[in-house]
Amino acid sequence: MTQLIDRTAVTRAAASQDADARITRLYETEIGRLTALGHLLTGDQSAAEDLAQDVFIDLLEALRADAAYLQGPPWPWLRTAMVHHVAKRFRFNTRELGRLMRVYEERAVDESWSETTIDYERALAQLPPRMRAVVVLKYSEDMTREQIAEVLGCGFETVKTQLRRAKPRLAELMGIEFHDMDDEDADDRA
């Protein structure tokens, strides 16, 4: 019985090995130069190293797909790819910064709010996200601890702990004295 050899698979495997060997040689000779260019473009050595790695990954994928992909001198391609990656990262960082600014910007305060309400909102904004969610659902939405646990996908004890820790923290952030008078805690101890 003769075994049929898939010539396409053999050719692809050989091309992949050839691409790997080629990229290894290129990497060894050009990584320093490419990283230096990235550093000049970004001003950040670690970002430059990350970007140089990304460029070589792109090149490896291209060479594995088509062994004839890079026929000319590699430096112009590497340089252009680095510039494109830097621009892409800059665009991403700019969009992300815009998102963060929208999330954390000071919102206009409703003039009908009391100073205590304004202090409370500012203190809430300083709590960690899960703790803030627990407090808002408990005291603004009047949900039970069981309902909060279900909505947040966490355990009942987690909700209790978050509430217990949030109360003195909010009091401290608002500059008021804390007195724990939660009836639910008394019920839990009984």
Q: Which of 182, 176, 169, 175 has the alpha carbon at shortest distance from 124?
A: 169
CATH 1.10.1740 fits domain 7-104: yes
Nearest residue to 187 via CA among 144, 127, 149: 144
Report the CATH fold assignment for 115-189.
Answer: Arc Repressor Mutant, subunit A (1.10.10)
The whole-angstrom separation of Cα 26 and Cα 61 is: 14
Backbone conformation region of residue 142, classed left if phi is above 0, alpha if psi is from -120 to 50, else beta: left
Q: What is the pLDDT of residues 125-167, one digit of tens each?
A: 888 888 888 888 888 788 899 999 988 888 999 999 999 999 8
Note the pLDDT tens digit of each residue in 98-120.
887 777 766 555 566 666 676 77
Instruction: Give the separation between CA 102 and CA 165, rounded to whole angstroms.
Output: 28
Domain residues of the chain, as ranges?
Answer: 7-104, 115-189
